[in-house]
Structure 1
């Protein structure tokens, strides 16, 4: 089983899942995507395709057999990419509040928001303004406020969680990584990928997520209705963008039950 974190997160974001999944008998792997967590932070062009290549190499070096890919946010989108492009590597897929892209696609934004995002992209990329913006974003009080937007259960926002996100921002090169990712192309969309994915899929979606609202899960809901033997879609009431961390007991149970049912089948 391979766990793939989302934007700004790291291996530690799975701290409430790894022990339970491992205790159930699974070999559990997790990694920091390049540029995040404890990984190195080279000044390169970041993209979903770069991380996909990293995952392929990680699989070849450490796993070597079809695995269950579990991802949150952009990690979920990467899991879909792996299933579509390297089907022999992927046995099953678990998607947690899957992102529609690494960044917003211009055609998805109204003209005003498109203009605002264009200006923001220029500022983030600026040698003068970019470092200042990054310093504001990475302050611990700002991190906590951001988490309060995406976690509905604020008791899950611990000092440990804030530190998990803050510490990598202190690494040399972190600001350049931040700028590169926020100005990167969105990559392939779920609409493009899903017709090429034939493995069983479990879709879990916190229904109170402001970043990837549950309205965006329509494509998965429809797929589950059309192929109920292959695709399971389960909304999680009251959870935000990171249900695996906000309500780990629920997510762990749903994942293990689904895997167990599949093994019985």
Structure 2
């Protein structure tokens, strides 16, 4: 017997934004909580959190970031700079009739959420980051730092820089590539410590050459993969990859905020097996200075990168507890 699809009860709407339009999926009523996804996902990555937050008395709104899903897909890397992405999230809050909101993000969405809180504290009263911790603007030029990683091999962010190159690998078999990327970063299917890292490619090779063969994460069924693959088969990958191609623009745009802390109440939740929590261990260690409003931080044992999908019940509990302890939104 088929189980009912809880996503059928969600409300879909388009909100006018600097991108042109932003697709928003809502559930519940009460104080507004905006949910921002990462790469390569979409609003659907928050499918478990939407009903849980609604049941706890919140109005949960998951967006398709510009370049993804049903949201606008402007051309060129300059359209994906952080200042514009933050402006989109402000437009979502206003378009939903609210003055203030809590913002929650995963992966690149965590970076967007953190900068939304940093740049617009008048709109975003609190911020939660999943997988990627806050690191203040500043430091070396990002593409220089990424190029220095890996020795003779090329780090995936560097690989994504050249327009068309990663698209040529991914788009002929979107479904297979996504399945391999999700498996490579999931706690139950990621390569072991003695296996080659999927984050690097050999000269002339492909990222997918290192994806773990015949491994399917427990959270990724055929139906879930259908949703993700269907979206990217329709839209292509250029919009999603645009975020990587704007990192140097962000570095210049955000120089005024170099080293700036985020003072609002905050939360960090990561996977203990996620490479990001190891690469950015210094950022986590600096939370006393960079996140003076930090309420709590959590590393979930056995969990990889796709935290809210790998461990939805635990993430829902942490988010609801944190949200309920916040001052009520005006």
TM over 0.5: yes
Deviations 1:41-66 (A, max 9, x none): 33233222221121121122214222
Structure-1 residue corresponding to 2:245: 183
Q: Distance in 2 between matches of 1:219 and 1:181?
A: 21
CA contact (8 A) 1:202 1:233 kept: yes
Higher helix content, 1 or 2: 1
| CA drift at 1:170 | 2.0
Q: For structure 2, list consecutive stretches of 5 or more residues without a partner in the other structure.
A: 1-32, 136-140, 189-216
Q: Quick one: structure 1 residues 242 and 120, their matched pair in 2 at CA, closer, same or farther if it must change by over 3 Å?
A: closer
Q: Quick one: structure 1 residues 162 and 195, their matched pair in 2 at CA, closer, same or farther if it must change by over 3 Å?
A: same
Q: Distance in 2 between matches of 1:88 and 1:253?
A: 27
Q: Distance in 2 between matches of 1:28 and 1:75?
A: 15
Among 225, 228, 252, the alignment partner of 1:162 is 225
Q: Distance in 1 between matches of 2:130 and 2:281?
A: 10
Q: Distance in 2 between matches of 1:107 and 1:226?
A: 21
Say if 2:176 is the partner of 1:141: yes
Structure-2 residue corresponding to 1:43: 75
Give TM-score, length-normalised by structure 2.
0.67
Secondary structure of 2:314's aligned partner: helix
Q: Quick one: structure 1 residues 194 and 156, their matched pair in 2 at CA, closer, same or farther if it must change by over 3 Å?
A: farther
Say if 2:218 is the partner of 1:218: no
Secondary structure of 2:264's aligned partner: coil
More displaced stretch, 103-112 vs 35-44: 103-112
Say if 2:234 is the partner of 1:171: yes
Q: Distance in 2 between matches of 1:60 and 1:119?
A: 36
Deviations 1:61-109 (A, max 9, x none): 21422211100011111111111111011111111011679x9542254
Structure-1 residue corresponding to 2:267: 202
Q: Distance in 1 between matches of 2:258 and 2:55?
A: 32
Structure-2 residue corresponding to 1:79: 113
Q: Quick one: structure 1 residues 194 and 146, their matched pair in 2 at CA, closer, same or farther if it must change by over 3 Å?
A: same
Structure-2 residue corresponding to 1:88: 122
| CA drift at 1:230 | 3.7
Secondary structure of 1:184's aligned partner: helix
Q: Distance in 1 between matches of 2:274 and 2:158?
A: 26
Structure-2 residue corresponding to 1:68: 102
Secondary structure of 2:70's aligned partner: coil
Q: For structure 1, list consecutive stretches of 5 or more residues without a partner in the other structure.
A: none
Q: Distance in 2 between matches of 1:252 and 1:111?
A: 35
Secondary structure of 1:146's aligned partner: helix
Q: Distance in 1 between matches of 2:325 and 2:295?
A: 13
Q: Distance in 1 between matches of 2:242 and 2:289?
A: 38
Deviations 1:145-173 (A, max 9, x none): 1111111142112223322321122225x
